A and B are shown apart, each in its own frame.
Chain A
């Protein structure tokens, strides 16, 4: 089955790319954009039909590789 994961920076961690995107959007007349936070999205195909097993494996992957918990949070969709 396919498991989807989003990794984002934790609140309070500086995101210079998000800031640059926000400023560019403001400059493009989208001046009501007050903040942009950039993240990563993963589509993971796991050869496992049991959904909860697959998700718990992906959780392990998030902790060990996909996210660095010093600055990032993950969300399994």
Chain B
């Protein structure tokens, strides 16, 4: 299985993602944002970081990069596109995913482990994961998911909520909401479930000695589902 990680100026989780993808069997290639075309891939990843220094709005400048047209073509033809953290912000700015990530409610940069509940397993990203709750890492200043009421209704009706912030038992209530995100939303899909954007970093949870291995479950499932 071939994957491509796009590097923008200011990406800083691109190499972590490369390590994670290779560890679980992907043949990964790094692609520069100013390239015109993406090499043949089964999965495209927009990594975390601070593309263009978060100028204007997080992800807004990267969302107009030269490479984005081929990412959109790939996504619109059903290809798997995964955006983590800043990658999620870029996906909302391109319009591939609805809504926007605003500044955290309490104005603080949050860097910690959190639990997220998997809300929908009928997709390639979570299909074979047996657990209901994963422990993953977040590190962001703008992770406060927001969309209009109509949009929220449509997201809920179409099963587009992928993961929500919760406690270790899966209670996804306001008490376990780190950043003020609407309905505790930590990640969403597009309607067809081939595009996933999420704030938590699975690539930071692939080592039993350094972190934890719930990210490993994510990547193992992904390569098996493709």
How many of A's residues come within 8 Å of B, CB to CB? Answer: 10
Cβ A17 vs Cβ B180 within 8 A:
no
* Cα–Cα distance between A13 and B99 once the two chains are bound (Å): 13
Instruction: Tell me the smallest distance from the CB of A52 to a CB of chain B, in Å.
Output: 26
Cβ A68 vs Cβ B107 within 8 A:
no
Cβ B64 vs Cβ A14 within 8 A:
no
Cβ A68 vs Cβ B60 within 8 A:
yes
Cβ B107 vs Cβ A16 within 8 A:
yes
* B151 / chain A contacts, CB cutoff of 8 Å: 70
Cβ B100 vs Cβ A70 within 8 A:
yes
* A20 / chain B contacts, CB cutoff of 8 Å: 107
Q: Are A65 and B100 CB-contacts (below 8 A) given A16-B107, A20-B107?
A: no
Which residues from 28 to 54 on chain A have a C-beta closer than 8 Å to any C-beta of chain B? none
Interface assignment of B109: CB less than 8 Å from any CB of chain A: no
Q: Are A14 and B148 CB-contacts (below 8 A) given A66-B56, A68-B93?
A: no
Q: Are A16 and B106 CB-contacts (below 8 A) given A68-B100, A70-B148, A71-B146?
A: yes
Cβ B148 vs Cβ A65 within 8 A:
no
* Cα–Cα distance between A68 and B189 once the two chains are bound (Å): 20
> For residue B93, which residue of chain A has the nearest CB?
A68
| CB-contact partner of B180 in A14, A65, A70, A71, under 8 A | A14
Interface assignment of B105: CB less than 8 Å from any CB of chain A: yes
* A66 / chain B contacts, CB cutoff of 8 Å: 56
Interface assignment of B164: CB less than 8 Å from any CB of chain A: no
* A17 / chain B contacts, CB cutoff of 8 Å: 103, 107
Besides A65-B64, A68-B60, 11 new A-B residue pairs in contact (Cβ under 8 A), listed by A number? A13-B102, A14-B102, A14-B144, A14-B146, A16-B104, A16-B105, A16-B107, A17-B107, A70-B100, A70-B148, A71-B102
Q: Which residues of B contact A (CB under 8 A)?
A: 56-57, 60, 64, 92-93, 99-100, 102-107, 144, 146-148, 151, 180
Q: Which residues of A contact B (CB under 8 A)?
A: 13-14, 16-17, 20, 65-66, 68, 70-71
Can you list 27 pairs linking A and B with CB atoms under 8 Å apart?
A13-B102, A13-B146, A14-B102, A14-B105, A14-B180, A16-B103, A16-B105, A16-B107, A17-B103, A17-B107, A20-B107, A65-B56, A65-B60, A65-B64, A66-B56, A68-B57, A68-B60, A68-B93, A68-B100, A70-B92, A70-B99, A70-B146, A70-B147, A70-B148, A70-B151, A71-B100, A71-B102
